[in-house]
Structure 1
Amino acid sequence: MASTYDFIVVGSGPAGSSIASSLSRSPKKPRVLLLEAGGPNADRTLRVDGQRWTTLQNSAMNWGYKTTPQSHCGGRELDYSRGRGLGGSSAINFGVFSVGARRDYDEWASLTNDKSFTWENMKRRFRSLEAFDPTPPPGVDKKYAAARAEDHGVDGFLRTGFPAEVEEDTVPMLELFEKAGFPLNPDHNSGDPIGMALGINSSSKGMRSTAADLLATAPENLTIVTDAPVQRIVLEGKRAVGVESNGKQYLATKEVILSAGALNDPKILMHSGIGPKSQLEKFGIPVVSDVPAIGQGLKDHAFVPLAYSRASGDANRAAFYSDKAAMASALEQWTSSGGAGPWARYGCEMPIGWFKLPSLAASPEFQALPDSEKDFLSDPTVPHYELLSHFPLHWFVPFADSTLNYNCLLVFLYNAQAHGEVTLQSADPAAPLRFDPKFLSTAFDRRAAIESLRDAYRIVRHEAYVKDNVATIAGPKGESDEELLEYWRQSIGSSWHMTGTVKMGRKGGAGEDVAVDSDFRLIGFEGLRVADMSVVPIIMSCHVQAVAYLTGLTCAEKLIAEYQLA
């Protein structure tokens, strides 16, 4: 016999956990079921701050997806990791906690004709989410790390903050950005991310936070079931009445909310007969509703590394990373002390900044964009690219011990114009979709990639940086347009910020590129909503985990109001 609830939420990432937590804690205490495809992720050592870079290598916690061969990137298949288990991708991400540009949210509100998505409304929800520790690490000047109280919250479920301490070369790197003429910004979460800062993390005092923290004190009316992947939605005509997981049905009297992510929401919908008719018919799936937008509109950020081995004495991390006994001892210290020691230091700080590119704005490729896009990209708060320093590349590329003293910067491409897609490749609901982000497929994206890498040379070619270099570990062969672009083609990686595959639009605006209305309803259906990064109609100017939380909180707010749960 099927179990029955008021609401069923599919997926426990930032969006799904926000929805399940908010609904279950509303005054009228509806019965809420949260279904998670993976396990409980209960091992406390998965929260070691300095080991945030390695959890995605845990196959039990990662769907292990790959892209299709990228035709503009040398035919390479790229890692397309997605988190599996309680907390979703927040359990395997790299801990950057950035909220983006205020114009991003106001653009979202404009595209949907719904003020719920304006920066001021999202900022209110952002404050309700955070338990922010504003304390900068010792030795870091406030011009690199300072937050205004009105921009942050202190009473939320998610612990965020600056690192507990920084490595020896962190402050010199921040100073170098200043010398090279990059603007400073002591808080990238104020709604204006432009400038260099010490990064804010989804962690505090050596302990990582994940979306599971929103569920840690769950009320009795919230039921959480792990190891329960959803294969399809149970429909009665055009009304969702439940879901099917591993042959078992769970029923909902009010709503089913999909929050399984931008790569898995389209899969569940298509295997339920909802999606592009041609794809469903190709694999013999009965068509319930032809919705061409599902799976289309995939957007993502991408990056390339710049890495250089450094003179001895630049930092102490080589001695730590090359000594397995030291790392094991540090883990014991972290466990016994509640988060202190070297694992709260090494790999925990991220000098990070978002910047404009005057050279890009002056290019023919920029001028060829639609006027609306040029206006958006010209907004003072909207960046063209990002730089992040102190990325621990050795966790991903095997190094000899002699090269462990190095610096690695990542150069991120923002606001790419390419529109990728996710499509069916099997009638089996356990098989992943086919993921094609179409990186570097537009002239603008290629120009933006070239100009961002060239601007990053202001750092890596600066005399104060070059003097400590020993050798190049990763970088272009030269500085011509073709050499810079070829480096992107051969070295590009996804930032795992997949967005827009079940795109949101205005109410009554169903069409080729819109699947969900501004109340998160799947257009043409009752009792079925989608709420996570798959619905966000633009690629936000940040690392998107904060946006996923805000998307879930916004959906929950609308549901609570509609069903008078307050």
Structure 2
Amino acid sequence: MYDYLIVGGGSAGCVLAARLSEDPDVRVALLEAGEADRSALIHCPAGIALMARTGQANWAFETVAQSGLDGRAGYQPRGKVLGGSSSINAMIYIRGQREDYDAWAAAGNPGWGWADVLPYFKRSEHNERGADAWHGAAGPLNVMDLPEPNPWSRRFIEAGRQAGFAENRDFNGEHQEGVGMYQVTHRGGERFSAAKAYLTPALDRPNLDVVTGAQVLKVVLEGCRATGVELLQGGTRRVLAARREVILSAGALQSPQLLLLSGIGPGAELQALGVPVVHDLPGVGRHLHDHPDVVLLVDAPGAKETVGVSAGGALRVLAGVQQWRSRRRGLLTTNFAESGAFLRTRADEMRPDVQLHFVIGKLVDHGRSTVWGHGWSAHVCVLRPQSRGRVTLRAADPLAPPRIDPGFLDHPDDLRRLMDGVRLTQRILAQPALAGGGRPSASGLDDTALEHWVRQHADTIYHPVGSCRMGPGRGDVVDAELRVKGIQGLRVADASIMPSIVSGNTNAPTLMIGEKAADLVRRAAALV
């Protein structure tokens, strides 16, 4: 018997497990389907390149065929390991824009405006630059500047300046717009995931159990109250009980899946699959959305400092392995997407509507395919897409993957902004600071040809949100306290609760959600 059962050992789950177990009078269990984060590929920042190829620590889901992508299925990697996707991502620390959170509050979610959430970002953060009005320096999550950035990352920033854009030295400061270096969740030359930041320091607490290799199959309900979970571990089904609450932190693809498997969701759809309906909640799995993204490649044979597949490149990597093993320095401390930009595609935009990630190598197929030679890549993503999709069940089998339909590029505004972003990025890549490279992908195409190229190459940049949307309406799943509507003792705390996606990478906001959720849970317990 536990007081709190937390389902999912990802970013928000690690925060909740650490924060709730600070009270020695409560018992907490964190349940993770994956294993412990022991792999060197996780801890070495550049290990993401090999993890992409091996599928290690990754659910590696796929979407259904996307009409907006000319019928292609998309790739949906999600972390299956302690730390969740913070253990397999590119480690970029971005919060988004203040307007994102003020929009959440304006949509009927009191306590979620920018002024409300900024203290939680600061509480989470230990920024090596020090504390100021925007940053914390006493939190568990280490945030830092890359100590040895690749020279081509700096050249990208100069190219942005040559194209007429201002340099921004802090994308998480007073304003987001501009070109600059990303800060990363590293420490001492290693990845600093949510597991390292929050969970590892708490593992010795006698009131915290971390259970790995445990796939939760459903929430156990007595009437309309959550009393525990059923899980599968080592081939054996078990039931764990919760005195106070069950908290789903399984992410935007699997938190709604678990609600549906538990009989909470659109009643007619559940009945059609043979799932007994406990509570007809039509919004479960709806409103899924993600940042649509496309990658431009540039071939640059003379850019030997980039990470490329060549004889010289292999020697540099071998030297980097030794340097990282001995001193945690050198080439393998890169996160590959070292610099980037937040830009407005048109002059009448009030704030940045696209984000760029400049990659110091030629990236295709999410890093799963080999491209010979040297060069660089540039991700272009739409920050506030209008397209909406859904997560549903393929079957009543809890071990079947969820059916994922992000609806990529279903809304014409998303396609227009992505095409504008491609042309803007091509202009930056053509500047003198990046001389020595060939023409970027899709150069010289007219609108019709560019639209076809975008639909043939776009996919996710790994930021699914919104499928257990927070709000006061009938189509919403959780209230502003993150309580599942109509069910007692059950909350959702992860990126699935976002009413609308933030303007940037979603890991830091998910950690913030975990921090705020911990306060909401503790406040509720104090009122009992």
Aligned match of 2:456: 490
Give aligned pairs, total. Answer: 518
What is the aligned counterpart of 1:499 among 465, 469, 478? 465
Deviation at 1:172, TM superposition (A): 2.3
What is the distance in 2 between the residues matched to 1:202 and 1:180?
Answer: 29
* 8 Å Cα contact 1:454/1:479 also seen in 2: no
Which amino acid counterpart does residue 488 of structure 1 have in structure 2? V
The answer to whether residue 147 in structure 2 is matched with residue 152 in structure 1 is: no
- CA spacing shift, 1:311–1:286, aligned 2, 3 Å: closer
Deviation at 1:298, TM superposition (A): 0.5
Deviation at 1:19, TM superposition (A): 1.1
Which amino acid counterpart does residue 110 of structure 2 have in structure 1? D
Map 1:126-165 → 2, pairs under 5 A: 126-134=121-129, 149-165=132-148
* 8 Å Cα contact 2:298/2:362 also seen in 1: no
* 8 Å Cα contact 1:21/1:215 also seen in 2: yes
What is the aligned counterpart of 1:528 among 468, 484, 490? 490
What is the distance in 1 between the residues matched to 2:15 and 2:360?
Answer: 29
* 8 Å Cα contact 2:66/2:408 also seen in 1: yes
Which amino acid counterpart does residue 399 of structure 1 have in structure 2? V
* 8 Å Cα contact 2:31/2:215 also seen in 1: yes
Aligned match of 2:231: 245
**CA-atom RMSD, angstroms?**
2.1
The answer to whether residue 409 in structure 2 is matched with residue 440 in structure 1 is: yes
Deviates more, 1:264-273 or 1:389-398: 389-398
Aligned match of 2:436: 468
What is the aligned counterpart of 2:15 among 4, 14, 18? 18
Aligned match of 2:28: 32
* 8 Å Cα contact 2:299/2:362 also seen in 1: no
Deviates more, 1:216-225 or 1:518-527: 216-225
Which amino acid counterpart does residue 435 of structure 1 have in structure 2? I
What is the distance in 2 between the residues matched to 1:387 and 1:194?
Answer: 11
What is the distance in 2 between the residues matched to 1:421 and 1:203?
Answer: 33
Aligned match of 1:356: 344
What is the distance in 2 between the residues matched to 1:419 and 1:171?
Answer: 36
* 8 Å Cα contact 2:131/2:137 also seen in 1: no
Map 1:15-94 → 2, pairs under 5 A: 15-26=12-23, 29-94=25-90
Which amino acid counterpart does residue 172 of structure 2 have in structure 1? N
Q: Name the SS for the 1:155 alignment partner.
A: coil
What is the distance in 1 between the residues matched to 2:424 and 2:386?
Answer: 20
- CA spacing shift, 1:255–1:163, aligned 2, 3 Å: same
Map 1:319-338 → 2, pairs under 5 A: 322-324=312-314, 326-337=316-327
Q: Name the SS for the 1:352 alignment partner.
A: strand
Which amino acid counterpart does residue 508 of structure 2 have in structure 1? A
Q: Name the SS for the 1:529 alignment partner.
A: strand
Q: Name the SS for the 2:38 alignment partner.
A: coil
What is the distance in 1 between the residues matched to 2:310 and 2:513?
Answer: 39
Deviation at 1:414, TM superposition (A): 1.8
What is the distance in 1 between the residues matched to 2:97 and 2:227?
Answer: 38
What is the distance in 2 between the residues matched to 1:411 and 1:258?
Answer: 32
Deviation at 1:463, TM superposition (A): 4.7
Map 1:247-396 → 2, pairs under 5 A: 247-310=237-300, 312=302, 315=305, 317-318=307-308, 322-324=312-314, 326-337=316-327, 339-344=328-333, 346-348=334-336, 350-358=338-346, 361=348, 379-380=350-351, 383-394=352-363, 395-396=367-368
Aligned match of 1:97: 93
Aligned match of 1:140: none
Aligned match of 2:207: 221
The answer to whether residue 18 in structure 2 is matched with residue 7 in structure 1 is: no
- CA spacing shift, 1:428–1:356, aligned 2, 3 Å: same
- CA spacing shift, 1:241–1:153, aligned 2, 3 Å: same
Q: Name the SS for the 2:164 alignment partner.
A: coil
Aligned match of 1:372: none
* 8 Å Cα contact 2:40/2:47 also seen in 1: no
TM-score, with structure 1 as normaliser: 0.87
Deviation at 1:307, TM superposition (A): 1.3
Q: Name the SS for the 2:143 alignment partner.
A: strand
Q: Residue by residue, what CA displacement relative to the aligned partner does 1:259-285 show, whole Å, maximum 9, x if unpaired?
A: 001100111111111111122111111
Structure 1: runs of 5 or more not aligned: 135-146, 362-377
What is the distance in 2 between the residues matched to 1:172 and 1:392?
Answer: 14
* Identity fraction in percent: 32
What is the distance in 2 between the residues matched to 1:443 and 1:72?
Answer: 10
Aligned match of 2:521: 559
* 8 Å Cα contact 1:477/1:483 also seen in 2: no
Aligned match of 1:125: 120
Structure 2: runs of 5 or more not aligned: none
Q: Residue by residue, what CA displacement relative to the aligned partner does 1:49-106 show, whole Å, maximum 9, x if unpaired?
A: 2223332444341111001111121111111111101001111111111011011111
Which amino acid counterpart does residue 32 of structure 1 have in structure 2? V
* 8 Å Cα contact 1:262/1:501 also seen in 2: yes
Q: Name the SS for the 2:497 alignment partner.
A: coil
Deviates more, 1:326-335 or 1:207-216: 326-335
What is the aligned counterpart of 2:398 among 429, 437, 443? 429
What is the aligned counterpart of 1:452 among 421, 425, 439? 421
* 8 Å Cα contact 2:15/2:515 also seen in 1: yes
Deviation at 1:191, TM superposition (A): 5.3
